[in-house]
Amino acid sequence: MNRRALLLGTAGLCASLAGCSSGGDAAEQSPAGTGTETGTASPTATETPRHPRLVGRSFTPARADACPADGGALASETETGVSVVGCVSGATDCAIARLARADYDVESDTATVVVETVERADAENCAESSVVRGYEATLRFESGLPSRAVVIHDDADGRREVARIDVAP
């Protein structure tokens, strides 16, 4: 059997069928020659959002060895979002760090991370001594980055802003 002839014949058949399946000539399908308007144009499916969109968040406890005494945080811009490394204080040794909120506000173009300390659910006989708990948090965005990121701690020292960065455009 002659493979080249078979392949050429198959390619020709496919090309001719593709033309038939389109339903006719493009000029016949166009309403341009009718003199009537078709109404509103529909938006394209690949339209890019005008604002960043928060698509992921993660929170991981971390070692508190290098925590500053003031319970601060360091926020930094990543290729796809914002990364935060920080430390919160607890009133007892049963306190743990927890991500209370991580969101993005379109109007202010600001990402906010709120980290709090809470007592473990299984906590019993906790010593009333201050502890420091480390954490790492990450926010991932699509369609760009927010212009600002704010980190708030809500812990034994009260609720306060501990870091703020302006993200490069």
Residue range 10-60, pLDDT digits in tens: 444 444 434 444 444 444 444 444 444 444 555 555 565 688 999 999 999
Range of the domain at 150: 65-166
Domain count within the chain: 1
Tokens of 45: 């499916």
Determine, yes or no, domain membership for 59.
Answer: no
For position 62, what pLDDT does the model report?
Answer: 92
For position 71, what pLDDT does the model report?
Answer: 77
For position 168, what pLDDT does the model report?
Answer: 72
pLDDT of 134 strictly over 80: yes
Determine, yes or no, domain membership for 25.
Answer: no
Q: Comparing 126 with 158, which gets the higher pLDDT?
A: 158
Q: Work out the pLDDT band at 129, boundaries 50, 70, 90.
A: confident
Determine, yes or no, domain membership for 126.
Answer: yes
For position 58, what pLDDT does the model report?
Answer: 97
pLDDT of 96 strictly over 80: yes
For position 140, what pLDDT does the model report?
Answer: 98
Determine, yes or no, domain membership for 51.
Answer: no
**What pTM, to 2 d.p., does this model score?**
0.69
Region 141-168: mean pLDDT is: 94
Determine, yes or no, domain membership for 14.
Answer: no
Distance, CA of 76 to CA of 73 (rounded, Å): 10
